[in-house]
């Protein structure tokens, strides 16, 4: 296990197209987070999963965005009808969650850079 | 509203000089505070969190609830400290994380 992986690393699409990104977390991690990062900004929280349950969603996650984690392992983030404003780096992170109230570190993936033309 | 502010986009210091990267926050409750670092062409990674009260790579950060600050400090900067630094906070259950816009630290030889 070499850490969190994301696929693809780069995606160029035309406005109006749908795109889907995949995140494979570290195998025993039960929490999975999605973030979006635009140029000059820090990561913005989008959503997180505890196993297969999506427990938090940001208001940034419009109805064009949907995320799934069907078996509590890998996750997908889909953007429908992409807009130029969706151009950003999409980051995934995973962690062991807060078992026993203790914080367990988030490990980040390399990100998927989306460019919408 | 929850917010993390890092007022400096760029901080340049000479090797051996002290470093302080500023972070202020607003949060209704008791937040957990973190510093993350991203070295060139590497992934974002945790540097330290306030509750562990430890020094990592010579960096320390003290949570000041009165001033709602969590500044990152190092007494003697090294060239390998050059990186992007992000301050972040979460709720006590680590359900949501809020990141600042980051400060680029450039340590000159």
Tens digits of per-residue pLDDT, A52-100? 999 988 887 889 999 999 988 999 999 999 999 999 999 999 998 765 5
CB atoms within 10 A of CB B60: 15
Residue B46, pLDDT score: 92
| Contact by Cβ (8 Å): A75, A68 | yes
CB atoms B94 and A58 under 8 Å: no
- SS in 3 state form for A45-104? EEEEEECCEEEEECCCCCCCEEEECCCCCCEEEEECCCCHHHCEEEEEEEECCCHHHCCC
Collapsing DSSP to helix, strand or coil, B80 comes out as helix
Please check the confidence at residue A116 and state whether its pLDDT lies above 60.
yes
Residue B92, pLDDT score: 75
Please check the confidence at residue A41 and state whether its pLDDT lies above 60.
yes
Residue A103, pLDDT score: 66
Would you place residue B62 in the very low, low, confident or very high pLDDT band (cuts 50, 70, 90)?
Answer: confident
Pick from B44, B95, B102: CB nearest A108: B44
Instruction: Please give the average per-residue pLDDT across A25-52, as a whole number.
Output: 93
Q: Which residue is listed with tokens 């990100």?
A: A111
Residue A100, pLDDT score: 53
Residue B65, pLDDT score: 87
Pick from A43, A56, A103: CB nearest B32: A103
Q: What percent of chain B has pLDDT over 90?
A: 72
| Contact by Cβ (8 Å): A37, A89 | yes
Instruction: Please give the average per-residue pLDDT across A96-115, as a whole number.
Output: 81
Q: A47 and chain B: CB distance < 8 Å anywhere? A: no
The answer to whether the bond into B15 is cis (omega within 30° of 0) is: no
Residue A98, pLDDT score: 63
Largest CA distance in chain B: 42
pLDDT tens for A10-31 read 999 999 999 999 999 998 899 9
CB atoms A98 and B45 under 8 Å: no
Instruction: Please give the average per-residue pLDDT across B47-58, as a whole number.
Output: 84
Residue A2, pLDDT score: 76
Please check the confidence at residue B88 and state whether its pLDDT lies above 60.
yes
Q: Residue A39: closest CA among chain B residues belongs to which residue?
A: B101
Dig out the tokens for A82 from the structure. Answer: 């992409």
Q: A53 and chain B: CB distance < 8 Å anywhere? A: no
CA pair distance A11, B18, nearest whole angstrom? 41
Cα distances from A4 to residues A25, A31, A37, A75, in angstroms, run 5, 12, 17, 11
- C-alpha distance from B98 to closest chain A C-alpha (Å): 7
Please check the confidence at residue A6 and state whether its pLDDT lies above 70.
yes
Please check the confidence at residue A113 and state whether its pLDDT lies above 90.
yes
CB atoms B44 and A91 under 8 Å: yes
Pick from A55, A91, A110: CB nearest B95: A55
CB atoms B51 and A103 under 8 Å: yes
Collapsing DSSP to helix, strand or coil, A110 comes out as coil
Dig out the tokens for A84 from the structure. Answer: 């130029």
Q: B41 and chain A: CB distance < 8 Å anywhere? A: no
Residue A78, pLDDT score: 97
Task: Give the A:B interface size as CB pairs under 8 Å.
Answer: 53
Which residues from B are below 8 Å from A99, CB to CB? Answer: none
| Contact by Cβ (8 Å): A66, A78 | yes
Q: A41 and chain B: CB distance < 8 Å anywhere? A: yes
Collapsing DSSP to helix, strand or coil, A22 comes out as strand
């Amino acid at each position: 296990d070499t850490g969190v992986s994301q696929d693809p690393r780069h995606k160029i699409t035309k406005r109006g197209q749908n795109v889907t990104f995949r995140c494979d977390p570290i195998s025993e991690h039960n929490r999975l987070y999605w973030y979006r990062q635009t140029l000059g900004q820090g990561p913005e929280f989008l959503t997180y999963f505890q196993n297969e349950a999506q427990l938090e969603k940001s208001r940034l996650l419009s109805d064009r965005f949907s995320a799934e984690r069907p078996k509590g392992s890998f996750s997908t983030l889909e953007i429908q009808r992409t807009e130029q404003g969706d151009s950003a780096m999409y980051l995934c992170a995973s962690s062991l969650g807060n078992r026993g109230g203790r914080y367990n570190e988030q490990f980040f993936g390399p990100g998927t850079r989306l460019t919408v033309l | 509203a929850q917010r993390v502010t890092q007022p400096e986009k760029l901080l340049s210091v000479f090797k051996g000089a002290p470093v302080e990267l500023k972070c202020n926050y607003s949060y209704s409750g008791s937040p957990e505070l973190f510093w993350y670092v991203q070295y060139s062409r590497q992934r974002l990674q945790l540097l330290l969190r306030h509750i562990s009260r430890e020094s990592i790579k010579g960096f320390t950060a003290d949570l000041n609830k009165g001033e709602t600050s969590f500044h990152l400090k190092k007494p003697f900067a090294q060239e390998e400290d050059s990186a992007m630094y992000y301050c972040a906070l979460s709720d006590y259950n680590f359900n949501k994380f809020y990141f600042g816009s980051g400060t680029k630290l450039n340590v000159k030889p």
